[in-house]
Each structure stands twice: as structure tokens, then as C-alpha cells.
Copies of this chain bind each other. A is one copy, B any other.
Amino acid sequence: MAGRRFTLSLGCPDALGIVARLSGFLAGAGAWIVEAAYHADPDTGWFFTRQTVTAESIRMDLDEFRARFAEIAATFGTEAEWSLHDSTERKRIVLLVSKEGHCLHDLLGRAATGELPAEVCAVIGNHRDLDPVARAHGVPFQHVPFPSDPAGKAEAFEAMRELVDAHSPDAVVLARFMQVLPPELCEHWKHRAINIHHSFLPSFVGARPYHQAHERGVKIIGATCHYVTAELDAGPIIEQDVVRIDHSYTIADMVRQGRDIEKIVLSRGLRWHLEGRVQVHGRKTVIFS
């Protein structure tokens, strides 16, 4: 509905005058800012910003704009990380699934209604159960069986990696994919592999979190969307949400209630990632939502 927009993201060591240099550059380029957010972290001395400008307001083409922004960014130190996103470039995602279909249904529904700003290139499952769901939405389903022996599993991950990488996706979404990624894949898809964990982390890491929550007698359950890292369920958290339960909830009730939270938290975190609203620094995230 809005016209073409460019979004600049920058993270660098905090210093005097960063905003002045950036905004001076943008004003010089005639850029009309429609969204701007800043954060300076006093603990790490790091500065973060995200700014969206209308493409039509800029007196140069994207390549020149990018080159000029790169020059500015270079003055903020060698550690500075930046990106420039064009709203007319469509993002691409691949979904990894197992047998549980609620997150798949949800993401495909959001993609179909245009809410999720991305093309779902493929759904890859270690079981065939969700093949019909993908096909009903016109998305190719690829089956990669996971044997239980380590060698076979390693081969399966290698096969999956090739299938995924063929799409050059902006996000690899573990939509209730029940396998633990090997460390080299975590590194390979660093800050692109996004998982939904069905607990309010760091509570109930690992398997069967609803069973753990039931056992502990908590009064609220939750879900956590995070980047995948080699340490299980310990990657940078993008989004969390919770829902109230009570003593009458069986594990089945918790599973059902939790699904709604999982779907919302995953879709919200994924959308922010795709819109360049997430900046990772160390094991934490800055979210310009």
C-alpha cells in the first residue's frame, strides 16, 4: 500500500555525532524519513539505529545511495555492521517441519493473505504428514527422512542443507521441527535460522516443555522465538509471549492453549526479522518494532 521504501540498519560503537552524520547524509540526499529508531546500550557501549525513507524522495539511485551509505558507515569503525533493504525486493523463506501442523498452517495462511512479507519457497519435512498442507497452498514439499543413527542423521542434515541453500533464503524457519541442528548448520545459518520453542525461556529448556511446566505447577505458560545457536534453546531471543493457565489444565489443554501463543510469537518474530527490525548483538537482540 505504501510506495517503495529503503530501510537502513546500523550497529556500531557509540560515539558523539553518529546521528548527526547519518541524518546529515540523509538530509543531503533529500531522504524523507518515515520511521526512525535509535538505541544506545550503556552496558556494551553499542549504538543501534534503523531508519526507513521513501525511495521517491531520494535524489540518486539505489546503487549510489548504498555506496554513499557504505562510506558513512565505514567511518563508524571496522566493527560497524549495516544493511540497506529495498521494500520491492521480496524476501524468501524455507520452512522446516515435522508432524505438528499448526505453525505451518498459520504461516502459510499469513503468506496467503499477504501479511507475511515473504515468499515461502519450500516446506521441508522429516515426515510426510504435512505434505498435503503445503501442496494445498501451492508450496513444494520436500521429504528428508531422518534415520536415528548418527551417520544417517548427518547425511540427512547435509541433504536438507543443500535443499535449503538452493533457495538462498532470508530465513530458515524451524516451525516445530523437532530435530536439533548440528553446530555447523547453526553457524552456517547464523542469524537466519529461527526457532519457536514452546516454553517461556529460559524456563523448561529441551524436550517436552509442557510436561515440565505441568510438573512444576506454573500458573502461566509461554513460547519463545529465537535465533538458533549451538547451545540448545539459548540463542538470542526475538520475541516471547505468555498465556495464563490454572490447576485444571491437563497437558493436552496446555498443548492446545500453547499453540496459539507459539503461532503468534513465531509469526511476529519472523516478520520483524524479514522487515530488518531485529539487530543481534552478542546473545541479545534489539527489536525496532
Binding site for B on A (CB under 8 A): 1, 16-17, 19-24, 26-28, 30, 32-42, 57, 100-102, 105-106, 109-110, 112-113, 115, 133, 136-137, 200-204, 216-220, 222, 236-237, 239-242, 244, 246-248, 250, 252, 256, 259-260, 264, 267, 283-287
Shortest Cβ gap from A81 to chain B (Å): 16
Q: Given A20-B23, A217-B236, A283-B217, verify A256-B115 contact (CB < 8 Å).
A: yes
Q: Cβ of A240 and Cβ of B220 under 8 Å apart?
A: yes
Copy tally for this chain in the complex stands at 4
CB proximity of A72 to chain B, nearest CB, Å: 13
B220, A202: Cβ atoms under 8 Å?
no
Residues on the B chain within 8 Å of A30, using CB: 16
Cβ of A242: which chain B residues have Cβ within 8 Å of it? 220, 242
Query: Which residues of B sit under 8 angstroms from A219, Cβ to Cβ?
Result: 237, 239-240, 287
Q: A239 — which chain B residues lie within 8 A by C-beta? A: 219
**A143: min CB distance to chain B, Å:** 19
8 closest A-B pairs (Cβ-Cβ)?
A: A105-B109, A217-B284, A20-B27, A17-B27, A136-B136, A20-B23, A19-B23, A247-B286
Min Cβ gap A289→B in Å is: 8
Contacts of A24 in B (CB 8 A): 20, 23-24
Q: How far is the CB of A56 from chain B (nearest CB, A)?
A: 13
In the assembled complex, how far is the CB of residue A274 from the closest CB belonging to chain B, in whole angstroms?
14
- Chain B residues, Cβ within 8 Å of A247: 39, 41, 284-287
In the bound complex, how far is the Cα of B202 from the Cα of A207, in angstroms?
Answer: 16
